Amino acid sequence: MPAVAFVAGTFLVEPVRVESTSMEPTLSAGDHLLVDDRAYRGAPPRRGDLVVFDESGATLVKRVVAVAGDTVAIEDGVLEVDGRAVEEPAVDPKTVDGMYYGPARVPDGTVFVLGDNRRHSVDSRQFGPVPVTKVTGRVILRWWPRPGRP
């Protein structure tokens, strides 16, 4: 299997291991992902994408919730983009407390990312919008453990 991962990483995808619980319930610590490292050549990330990027020497996986030009805010735990509440089916309401953020405009050339497990996520609320140039790819598949398997 390592040879397959190497060949895949050379051409289209790269294997990445999730190291934290910040994306639960969507992804868990120990999950292995395949990341399309060419997804954003010529097009920026979109809202809802799960992206991989480097922050302070660590490889992180987060969800894009706002893109350049959007105004993002969190009021009493509810994410708002451009003044409208965003439905977030991947976020467990038990992990969202009465947090507040913003409102803040997402600068050109950046995206605003959050972990699905808000209570245990270090994300754009702490380190700010992520430059698109730091985004190394888009998650395309969780391959281990297989979905639905422990």
Asked whether 33 and 15 are in contact (CB, 8 A), the reply is yes
CA distances from 79 to 28, 55, 104, 139, 140 (A): 22, 23, 12, 22, 24
- In sequence order, the 6+-apart residues with CB closer than 8 A to the CB of 71 are 81, 82, 83, 102, 103, 104, 105, 106
User: Which residues are annotated as catalytic?
Assistant: 22, 62
